[in-house]
Amino acid sequence: MPDAAVATKAGLVAYFAGPELSEGPLPTLVYFGASGEETLEEHPFNYPVAPFLSLGGRVLSFDLPYHHKGADKKEAIQQWVLELQHGRDVITPYVSQVENALHELARAGWITEDKIVFCGLSRGGFVAGHLAARFAGARALLGFAPVTKITGS
């Protein structure tokens, strides 16, 4: 179980690991691997979580599209492909939604936008790259086997 879960006005749940939110904004690793909970808790998704926490930071995750807790990850990639084949953009609206959620969390005093590291595994690396490009204060981007191009073919 994550240390905290916050429903945002952006329509996403933000899952946190690390120090209490009441401790104020801390350097934050925004990490995408699967569902937000699985990313923080389950091996191998949670591999970067403990090292970042040991540095005194906080780790934040959101469910990737079609990756709610318990979802079949192989079906999730197929769903992404189907959406693209039908001309529907899965990425841009999701990245905007996460961006809005991060701004909201910063306004609440739980993260600081100039001390964010973006990280992701596979499709999560693709999303992390898009988000890092939108945040001038992003300190780093780390992708584990990142998807670099998604097409509907």
Tell me the average confidence (pLDDT) per consecutive run of 10 residues in the chain, 153 residues long.
92 97 96 94 92 96 87 80 90 96 97 96 94 94 88 59
**The pTM is what?**
0.92
Per DSSP, the residues of 25-50 read -EEEEEEESSSHHHHHHSTTTTTTHH
Give the start-to-end residue ranges of the domains of the chain.
Answer: 4-144
CATH number attached to the domain at 4-144? 3.40.50.1820
Q: Would you call 130 helix, strand, or coil by DSSP? A: helix
Residue 150 is predicted with a pLDDT of 72
Name 99's bridge partners: none
State residue 149's pLDDT score: 78
In this prediction, residue 76 carries a pLDDT of 83
Amino acid 75: pLDDT: 84
